[in-house]
């Protein structure tokens, strides 16, 4: 049974940056969040059709966030050493920072966004430009055989039909193969109050408890879990066929930690919802006060997360003048829903602003390091994670 606990209001597509002439045709949906009492899975109530989100115009290039390029290189090297896979497939390969570390003859990409599929195809990797489904897995078995490593980063939580996605993995995975995937951790989101990880692209937010339930009913099991710092706290899940190998201590430890926090209890989600409402009130009050006192505020990082925050809190150009982002495809556009202009970092002088809100709070250290001069000149950062605060 699904129990609703959070209403994040009317939201646009989080990554649909747009031009002024498209404002009138913008798509919105009601972003409500539920907890499934049977599996413990947290999901959004109204799924948005994936074709509306993941298409030729999808702007999030992983390689534009340089810490992530290192992360995927290190991950690829670690998986090569640990499992020595002969055949590798990546689901949701984006612009290729992970797959680039594997040899072209034995590695395959699956990527529904045509702009990214073209990039990995041009790099020499066979790329299926379509969504991950059991039908696709069966085609791949016919054409390429079974895979030893199936990898996905920030992608499985994008898929509505998890049973079909996991069944597809089970069919394509060789008998001793490993399925490794990483996504934001529900526990860390609840601990840090980072409700902005919830948007159209993330129809599910995973706990280890929920994944263990859903993988098992699809013939797979988790044998290890790594806790990662990326994206504000993610879990890397290692899964295999249900009847192969042992289950490591990290699985029980993670499930225990989640149970102690109360992820199997609806009250935990109600408490979180209350914290989210308070975060909204505090953020709006704090930005409004600064503005009333004549302060200038901008935002660093036109993230999907900031779309959730700005639309939920009703923060537009009345409070934030401009957003800077390193991604070319977002520059010169307006942010979804609240229509704040997005510009390249070099096009503004940060010292003209008093405050910089961190849309990309997950890169807080990297940004603070890059923008030392802003702080030396009296500027301050604002974040809402883990609570609304200003810092230098
Ligand atoms: O799963 C998803 C994750 C991996 O990426 C998505 N569904 C979509 C996207 O979410 P996001 O937009 O919240 O991700 P990031 O990685 O927090 O985005 C960072 C943004 O900030 C990028 O557009 C690049 C930009 N950036 C910047 O302007 N200056 C990043 C850094 C590090 C910087 O210094």
Return mean pLDDT, the chain. 97
d(CA 272, CA 191): 9
pLDDT confidence of residue 245: 84
For residue 326, give the ligand 1 atom closest to its CA. Answer: 28
For residue 68, give the ligand 1 atom closest to its CA. Answer: 16
d(CA 124, CA 127): 9
Phi, psi angle pair for 353, to nearest 5°: -115, 150
59-95 pLDDT tens trace:
988 998 888 999 999 999 999 999 999 999 999 999 9
d(CA 346, CA 366): 17
Residue to mutate (ligand 1; options 57, 97, 298, 301; most atoms within 8 A of CB): 301
Contact 204, 275 (CB under 8 A): no
193-240 pLDDT tens trace:
999 999 999 999 999 999 999 999 999 999 999 999 999 999 999 999
Q: What is the mean pLDDT of residues 129-156?
A: 98
pLDDT confidence of residue 244: 87
Give the per-residue SS3 of 183-231.
Answer: EEEHHHHHHHCCHHHCCCCCCEEECHHHHHHHHHCCCEEEEEEEEECHH
Q: Which residues 6+ apart lie within 8 Å of 245 measured at CB?
A: 223
Q: Report the separation in Å between the CA atom of 303 and the middle of ligand 1, taken as the mean of its atom positions.
A: 5
Nearest CA to ligand 1 atom 32: 65
DSSP bridge pairs for 277: none
352-371 pLDDT tens trace:
999 999 999 999 999 999 99
Contact 13, 48 (CB under 8 A): yes
d(CA 255, CA 225): 10
Q: Report the separation in Å between the CA atom of 146 and the middle of ligand 1, taken as the mean of its atom positions.
A: 33
Nearest CA to ligand 1 atom 4: 154
Residue to mutate (ligand 1; options 17, 67, 360, 374; most atoms within 8 A of CB): 360
**263 Cβ closer than 6 Å to some ligand 1 atom:** no
The tokens 């409004």 sit on which residue? 288
Contact 99, 73 (CB under 8 A): no
d(CA 213, CA 202): 19
């Amino acid at each position: 049974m699904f129990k609703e606990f959070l209403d994040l209001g009317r939201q646009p597509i989080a990554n649909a940056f747009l031009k002024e002439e498209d404002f009138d045709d913008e798509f919105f949906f009601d972003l409500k969040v539920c907890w499934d009492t049977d599996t413990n899975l947290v999901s959004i109530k109204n799924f948005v059709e994936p074709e509306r989100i993941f298409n030729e115009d999808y702007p999030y290039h992983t390689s534009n966030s340089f810490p992530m390029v290192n992360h995927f290189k290190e991950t690829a090297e670690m998986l090569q050493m640990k499992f020595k896979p002969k055949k590798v497939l990546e689901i949701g390969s984006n612009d290729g920072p992970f797959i680039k570390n594997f040899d072209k003859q034995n590695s395959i990409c699956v990527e529904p966004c045509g702009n990214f599929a073209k990039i990995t195809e041009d790099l020499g990797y066979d790329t299926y430009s379509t969504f991950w489904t059991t039908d696709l897995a069966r085609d791949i078995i016919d054409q390429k055989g079974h895979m030893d490593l199936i990898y996905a980063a920030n992608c499985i939580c994008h898929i509505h039909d998890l049973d079909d996605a996991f069944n597809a993995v089970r069919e394509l995975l060789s008998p001793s193969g490993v399925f490794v995937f990483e996504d934001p951790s529900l526990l860390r989101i609840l601990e840090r109050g980072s409700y902005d990880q919830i948007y159209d692209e993330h129809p599910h937010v995973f706990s280890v408890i929920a994944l263990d339930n859903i993988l098992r009913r699809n013939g797979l099991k988790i044998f290890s879990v790594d806790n990662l710092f990326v994206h504000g706290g993610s879990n890397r899940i290692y899964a295999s066929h249900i009847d192969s190998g042992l289950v490591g201590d990290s699985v029980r430890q993670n499930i225990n930690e989640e149970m102690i926090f109360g992820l199997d209890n609806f009250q935990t989600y109600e408490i979180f919802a209350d914290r989210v409402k308070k975060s909204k009130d505090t953020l709006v009050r704090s930005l409004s006060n600064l503005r009333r006192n004549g302060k200038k505020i901008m935002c660093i990082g036109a993230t999907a997360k900031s779309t959730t925050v700005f639309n939920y809190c009703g923060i537009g150009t009345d409070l934030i003048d401009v957003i800077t982002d390193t991604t070319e495809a977002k520059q010169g556009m307006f942010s979804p829903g609240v229509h704040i202009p997005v510009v390249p970092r070099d096009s503004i002088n940060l010292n003209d602003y008093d405050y910089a809100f961190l849309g990309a709070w997950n890169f807080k250290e990297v940004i603070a390091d890059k923008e030392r001069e802003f702080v030396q000149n009296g500027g301050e950062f604002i974040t809402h994670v883990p609570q609304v605060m200003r810092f230098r």
